[in-house]
Structure formats: structure tokens, C-alpha cells
Structure 1
Amino acid sequence: MKVLHTADWHAGRGLHGVDRTGEIKEALEELAELVKVERVDLVVVAGDLYDNRNPSAAAEDAVYRFFLDVGRAGAQSVIIAGNHDSPQRLDAVASLLGLAGVHAVGAFRPAGAGGAFELNVGGERVRVAALPFLSERRMIGAADLIEGDHAAQQGSYRETMRKLVGNLTAGMDGKAVNLLLMHTTFEGASLANSEYVFHSTNSYTVPASIVPEAVTYAALGHIHKPQGVQGLAEGKARYPGSLLQLDFGEAGSERSVVVAELRAGRAPEYALKPITAGKRLKRAVVAEEELDRRALELAEFPGWLKLVVKLQRPRPGLKERLQRDLPNLLAVEQQLPGEDATDEPGFDPAALDLVAAYRDYLGEERGADGQQELVAAFAGLLEEAVT
């Protein structure tokens, strides 16, 4: 059985005011063609189909056309909601998507209520365990569904995730291809600097041991850099990465999807297939005295540009002047003496963990008194505000 694993499309995403839905549409058309060329039996999308919970009509059109196209080609699909998707919105269209051979899981469901199911794919019996993204706030409700109490209030995020995975994968054996879909961060994952940091920090990480031995392949989403999982056998679990270079922190990184050959009781065999659609991103650091010469060179670059210009003093209107010669220039950062560029590799300007910062503040101001309840309330309010 041949599976194509992808995730983190972020349809509807913009970049410095530019709508990139057209690029996503081109990438999905390339992906659909790859499904046909590779004779893929099953497409797996591990969350973040969209960039926000109320995507544009154009973004939905691009996504739905993809599933119609691969459905006509004879491939089934399984999709789960990520932290950027609306679980309710995805569940609302699940029946319609089913007409195209798509099995959609938006909100968490226990094994007996649709979170685990069997498919016949390419003559193979496939058991699917679908675990969409769960915030700490929603995890309480998920734990209620499998245990009937507020277990998540007593245990950590990872402990409850282990219980949920156990519920969904119970009964898996070596007689079927066992697929686990998750949208989460595993310990040791390398971020691409374009993920939403609040849902990618230590409190939201899970260990490799959460994946049962019986799982043939764990199809993961959430991390935008292609990689495996530390502590698991090569090929047992993969992040395919985002479909496009989403931010200038990803400039220079290649985009790909996973195509895996899966058989019951055997280790996966996989290959990374490059995705060439979508504009590439380039970030260039330029000294003021070299600006005119470098601008001539950069004018040939067909993708989106960001310039970091080293100056002795601020120059108002610099971006507007440069854009006359560089129509693909989206951002200009003026770097003065003693300043560092804000998106040097390895630095994420949005990396501050606000919950951890609030916890530290309370510890200094109030000690341990009432800290746990306040931090939980703050985390819930923050999540509502940003999602």
C-alpha cells in the first residue's frame, strides 16, 4: 500500500500583506499530480490544512479541489484538524468530503465513536487512529470522553496524551497496517521558526514512547521542518514539513512530502518527494555601500525577498525606494550599529513563552500561593485570544 503523507498547508496564509493562496493552489495541483504518478492509494494530511479557523473562500476552494481530484484518481484520504483549523468546521463538512473518499476527524473522538476506524486500501486492511490537535483546555473534555472524569486536571499534558493514544490504538496488531495521525510536538523536534510557539513549547511536547510498538507508521503534523522523531526507528514516524516556505525564517529550506510503502508487520519504506510549486523566499543582508549593486543582482530572483540593510543611521522611505527596482521585495529591516537582525537562523522573535513568563512573574510576586489556578486561567484566556 502506498501512502502520501503531507501536513501544514496553511491555506489562506499571507506574508507581509501578500495573499499566497494562489501559491498553495499550485502546490496542491502539483501534489495531486504526484498522487497520480506515484499511484498513491491513501493520502494522509496531519493537520493545519488552513492558516486560520475562518479561511477564505479561495482557500477552501483550493483544498476541496485537491480532494476531489485525488478522489477521482482513486485515492482515499484521511485528514485531522491542527491547531490552526476549526475542528467544528471540519466536522461540519465531513459528510460531504466523504463523497470524495475523505475521512475527516475535526474534534477528538474516542475509539468507539469514530476516532479509530478501519479502511480497505489497495487490498490492505488499514487501522487508523486519528488524534487531532488538542489544547490543554480541550484536553479535559477529551479525557472525560474516555474516562468519565477530569483526569486531565490531575495529570500533565503528556500523561493525558498517552491515555488518548492508548485508547485510539488499543487492539492494533500485526495483521493490519496500523496508522497513527497526530498534530503535536515530539521531544527533540527542530522548529522551522514559523510554527505558533505557544503550541510548540515544552508544556505541549510528548515523548517518543507515546507511540505504541504496534503502530506501523505515525503521520505527524505541526512542525514545519521535515524530520523524523528522536527515539523511534528510522521511518516509523515523520514530519513532512510545510507545503510552502511560510516565513523568511524558512528561506533556503526545501519543501517535500513523504511517500511511504506500508505493509502489515513490516517496517515502512519511504522517500521524500520535492515540491517545487510556490515562490521561494530569500533573505539577504546587505551593507549600505553595496545596496545598488546587490539590488541589480537580486532583481533576477523570482521569489519573495527580504532585505536586512546595515546602516549607520535610519533612512525613512528606504523600502519604497527599493521596491521600485525590486517588485518582489516584501520587507526591509534597517539594522543599525550594535543591533542584530531579528530573524537570524536559530532566533525566533515570537519565541517568548507567555505562560512560562507569567508563571515566573507570579513566583516572584506571590510565591506558590494560588499560582496553579491563576496560570491555568491565564493559559485558557491566552488561547482564546490567539485562536
Structure 2
Amino acid sequence: MRILHTSDWHIGRSFHGHSTLEALRGVLERLVAQVRENDVDLVLVAGDVFDSAAPSAACYPVLSDTLLALRETGATVVVTSGNHDSAARLGFQSALLRDGILVLTDPAAVGTPVTIDDAAGPVHVYGIPYLEPALVRHVWPGVPMRSQHDALTHAMSLIRADHTARGGRAVVMSHCFAAGVEATPGVEREIRQGSLDVVPVSVFDDLDYVALGHIHGRQTLAERVRYAGAPLHYSFGEQDKPRGSWLVDLDENGFEKAEWLELPVPRRLVTVRGALDDLLTDERFADAEDAWVCAQYTDTTPQIDPMRRLQQRFPHCATVMHTPDAPRVSDERSYAQRVRHARSDAELIDAFLVHVREGEGADERERELIRDVLDDHALTEARS
């Protein structure tokens, strides 16, 4: 059996205020083509289909069109909900979709698989929706449910009991934060509380394949336990991470191999760093002119209207950061203390600049200008 493992579509997420719907639609169209080209039998979408529990109306056609197109390739499609999704909304939509598209959102049903047969026999697919301990305690009364680890351990005990009775090959889908995974800072909205919600990889032992979601970059935690990541870049923290999905083959004995299928990147993400004047003129930044740009300018002091100026060269500049190269000199005195200790008007002005610039006083050119202004003022006073 041939499986395509994808996850974290996040339909409806914006990128620094820009809609990603059309870019995502194009990438998912390519994913559908890959399913067709590779004769995929089963598509697994491991959670966070939507970015919000209440997605806008424009998000639903992207999901419905993609799922229907995947089904038209002949593949069976199985979808689970993640921590961003509304399980109720996804579950409601499942009743409107055709046979061969299954949306698994009910925690109480984790021990009941979707079974698909191939020439070697049955493959049982167990979908685990995101399990928030506080919200699933009522599903399994009497079972300790203090952490996601507790919830997943119990869910896996139900799955193992069912699989033992059925036999055949077993595939599990889960949306979680597995131990050993490398998260992207500022990307995955944390579902951890200290170490309570980190799930050991051993929870998924003895399965033929585990399709994980939640982490936006591809990762292999064990040969049979993998994250596919998101199909689109949603943060500059992800810019160097490839986009794609896992193409997994099962033979009669279980896992055989996994191959990475690249997806296109509609617009590259690039971080440029340098003095603002260099960013605006230096040819070494020319290849970023058609990319999404995170600009880090290193001038000692903040510059006027940097975003507008940068967008004249980089039309898709999405964010600007002031990150000076020179470390700021720490001055623990308060502004009032600096003013009291100023011995001249020049020092008084410098104290003000240190205050408003968060530690950075006048540079040499500015000190010369300040001296000229103060000298002119003193001359005017003397004449009056």
C-alpha cells in the first residue's frame, strides 16, 4: 500500500497580514497531482487542517475542493483534527463529503479503525484527534488525565487492544509534540506546559507507520515515526525548511520505505541584514527583490520610516527589525538621575537621547550638530 502523509495545512492563516489562501490552494493542487502521479492508495492529513476553530467562509472551499480532488485520484483520504481545528466543525463537514473521505474527530472512537485492504490484506488506520486532557476526561471517566501524555497513552492502549484482536498492519495518525522533536521558535503555538505535554516516542512503538502533525518542519523521530510539516511557509523561522510530504510504502510485513516529495514554494522567504543604506542599494541583496523579506537593519539608531523605504526595493518586505550590531552600553541610572547629573546643555540633550533611544546617545556627527546649535543659541542670547 502506498501512503502520502501530509499535515498542518492551516487553511486561513495569514502571513504578516497577507492572505495565504491562493498560495496554499496552488500548493495543494500540486499535492493532488503528486498523489495521482505516484498511484497513492491512502492520503493521511494529520491535523490542523484549518488555522482557526472558526475559519472564514473563504476557507471551506479550499478544503472541500482539495479533499474531493484527492478522492478523484482514487485514493482514500483520512483527516484528523489538530489543536487549531474545531473538531465539531470538521466532524460536521465530514457528513457532507463523499465515500472515501473520512474525517476522524471523536476521541471516543480512537479504538475503531478505518480499514483498507490491499493484495497483502488489511491495513487499519487509527486516527487520534488532538487530545486536550481537560476536554476528554469525561470520555474516559476514571482514567488519569492530567497531561497529553496520559491521554495519548490511554488512546494507544485502546488502539493496541483493538489491533491485537484484528491483526493485520496498523497505521496511527496523531497531532502532538513528541519527545526529541525540534520545534521552530515562534511558529508552533505551544501545546506544552513544561514537560507535561511532551509525548515519548515509545508511546508509538510496534506500529507499521505513525503519521504525526503539529510541527511545521519535516522530522524523522524513528524510521516509522515522522512529521511531514506544513505545505507552506508560515514564518521566517521556517524559511530554510523544505516543504513537502512523505510517500510511504507498506509491504506485506509492514513498513518498507519512505520517500520525501518536495512541494513548490510560491514565494521564497529571505532574511537580509545590514545597514539600511546598504539594504536599499547594495547589489548583493538583489536576489531578494522578488521574495518575502524580513529586513534586519543594523544602524546604531532607529531610522525614519524604514518599511516604506525598504518596500520601494523589496515590494514584498513583510517585516522590519532594528538589530544594531554594536552592543548598547548599559546605564542603570534613571532618566531623572541622568538629567540631575548633566553638567551642560549638551549633556542634558545627550541624556534625553539615551532615554528615548533606549541606551544610545548622540554619535559624533550629532554631537557636532548639537554644539553648533548651542553655540548659535548662546550667540543669539548674548546679542539680545
Over the aligned positions, Cα root-mean-square deviation in angstroms equals 2.1
2:381 match = none
Which residue type is aligned with residue 273 of structure 1? L
**For residues 202 and 301 of structure 1, do their structure 2 counterparts lie closer, same or farther at Cα, with a shift above 3 Å needed?**
farther
Secondary structure at 1:210's aligned position in 2?
Answer: helix
How many residue pairs end up in the alignment? 325
Q: Which whole-Å deviations, capped at 9, do the CAs of 1:149-206 have from their partners, x for residues lacking one?
A: 25315xx431332111111232325952211010001111011231012448522111
1:116–1:128 CA contact under 8 A, matched in 2: yes
State the distance in 2 between where 1:123 and 1:74 align: 19
Secondary structure at 2:150's aligned position in 1?
Answer: helix
2:245 match = 257
More deviation in 167-176 or 72-81? Answer: 167-176
1:362 match = none
Shift of 1:224: 1.1
1:369 match = none
In the alignment, which of 297, 317, 327 is matched to residue 338 of structure 1? 327
1:54 aligns to 2:51 (yes or no) = no
Aligned ranges 1:1-387 → 2 under 5 Å: 1-97=1-97, 99-111=98-110, 115-120=112-117, 124-144=121-141, 149=142, 151-153=144-146, 156-172=147-163, 175-193=167-185, 194-199=187-192, 202-213=195-206, 215-229=207-221, 232=222, 234=223, 236-294=224-282, 297-298=285-286, 301-336=289-324, 337-338=326-327
2:120–2:252 CA contact under 8 A, matched in 1: no
State the distance in 2 between where 1:32 and 1:96 align: 20
Secondary structure at 2:36's aligned position in 1?
Answer: helix
State the distance in 2 between where 1:258 and 1:177 align: 18
Secondary structure at 1:267's aligned position in 2?
Answer: strand
Which residue type is aligned with residue 123 of structure 2? V
Secondary structure at 2:31's aligned position in 1?
Answer: helix
Higher relative contact order (CA 8 A, sep 6+): 1
State the distance in 1 between where 2:135 and 2:40 align: 34
Shift of 1:228: 1.4
Which residue type is aligned with residue 162 of structure 1? T
State the distance in 1 between where 2:31 and 2:193 align: 27
1:72–1:100 CA contact under 8 A, matched in 2: no
State the distance in 2 between where 1:130 and 1:55 align: 22
1:347 match = none
State the distance in 1 between where 2:181 and 2:255 align: 22
Q: Which whole-Å deviations, capped at 9, do the CAs of 1:211-243 have from their partners, x for residues lacking one?
A: 141x110111011111112xx4x2x11101111
State the distance in 1 between where 2:275 and 2:191 align: 35
State the TM-score, normalizing by the size of structure 2. Answer: 0.79
Shift of 1:42: 0.5
State the TM-score, normalizing by the size of structure 1. Answer: 0.78
State the distance in 2 between where 1:295 and 1:108 align: 56
2:289–2:314 CA contact under 8 A, matched in 1: no
1:41–1:121 CA contact under 8 A, matched in 2: no
**For residues 38 and 103 of structure 1, do their structure 2 counterparts lie closer, same or farther at Cα, with a shift above 3 Å needed?**
same
More deviation in 134-143 or 311-320? Answer: 134-143
Secondary structure at 2:67's aligned position in 1?
Answer: helix
State the distance in 2 between where 1:121 and 1:278 align: 36
Secondary structure at 2:272's aligned position in 1?
Answer: strand
Rg comparison, structure with higher value: 2
**For residues 252 and 157 of structure 1, do their structure 2 counterparts lie closer, same or farther at Cα, with a shift above 3 Å needed?**
closer
**For residues 237 and 38 of structure 1, do their structure 2 counterparts lie closer, same or farther at Cα, with a shift above 3 Å needed?**
same
Shift of 1:107: 3.2
Secondary structure at 1:291's aligned position in 2?
Answer: helix
More deviation in 292-301 or 189-198? Answer: 292-301
Shift of 1:116: 2.7
More deviation in 22-31 or 311-320? Answer: 311-320
Identity %: 26
State the distance in 2 between where 1:123 and 1:100 align: 23
Q: Which whole-Å deviations, capped at 9, do the CAs of 1:263-320 have from their partners, x for residues lacking one?
A: 2423331100000143221111122352233377346543311100001111131111
Structure 2 residue runs of 5 or longer lacking an equivalent are: 329-384
State the distance in 2 between where 1:141 and 1:303 align: 49
